[in-house]
Amino acid sequence: MPGKVAPAPRGPYKTGIQRREQIVQAALTVFGERGFAGGSIRTIAERVGVSHATLLQHFGSKEALLMAVLEEWDRRTVETGLSGVEGLEYFRRLPLVMSGHLANPGLLGLFITMAAEASNPAHPAHAFIRHRYDRNLTTLAGHLRQAADTGEAASLTPARIDTEVRIVTAVLDGIGLQWLNDPSTDIVQAVATFIDRTIADWRRH
């Protein structure tokens, strides 16, 4: 029913939304490159071509801008092509997820930089990062447990599953950190080699 479709925003309202998106995109890049402490509102405003005051009109504070960036990052990284994928297949897709990062280096840089900075409980992204780790580990553990339950993988104790998903997460984060420092790092090859060996071992155990 076309009558129910909301009209596309236009005029000043549309401009406001676009401006907001531009600011979030610039902030994502600047925080990813320099961290929250090192990335200044001034630098972000300059990249968008607005004044310091205009930027704060949209977000109120640097902390609120960071939260908007993290929500945007969360939204984008959910679209990784892993929805509906289960069991060991979830792990087999991880090299593909890494190759997706290559198209969006800023997102990976943002996560690694935030994860390193935000271990400090006073950091505004501290709770977000902790929650993100917990959620990722829970998701990975669910898929590995499912693989063990269906016989796709051999039986693994809950403690072993916890260790295994922490190792997988470490490889993904650690290879991202290497790649930030040395863009010649072949992150897809590294993750593929690691995952192939690990799945072979899970099936064999």
Q: Which residue ranges make up the site for a copy of itself (CB under 8 A)?
A: 33-39, 109, 112-113, 115-120, 129-130, 133, 160, 163-164, 166-167, 169-175, 177-178, 180-182, 185-186, 189-190, 193-194, 197-198, 201
**Tokens 């580990």, located at residue:** 137
At its nearest, how many Å lie between a copy of itself and the CB of residue 159?
A: 9
In this complex, which beta carbon is closest to a copy of itself, that of residue 39 or of residue 87?
Answer: 39
At its nearest, how many Å lie between a copy of itself and the CB of residue 5?
A: 43
At its nearest, how many Å lie between a copy of itself and the CB of residue 90?
A: 18
In this complex, which beta carbon is closest to a copy of itself, that of residue 96 or of residue 115?
Answer: 115
In this complex, which beta carbon is closest to a copy of itself, that of residue 52 or of residue 166?
Answer: 166
3-state secondary structure 43-88: HHHHHHCCCHHHHHHHHCCHHHHHHHHHHHHHHHHHCCCCCCCCCH
CB 97 within 8 A of CB 81: yes
In three-state secondary structure terms, 118 is coil
Whole-number Cα distances in Å, 32 to 28, 37, 107, 164, 173? 6, 11, 7, 28, 14
d(CA 67, CA 64): 5
In this complex, which beta carbon is closest to a copy of itself, that of residue 45 or of residue 172?
Answer: 172
At its nearest, how many Å lie between a copy of itself and the CB of residue 37?
A: 3
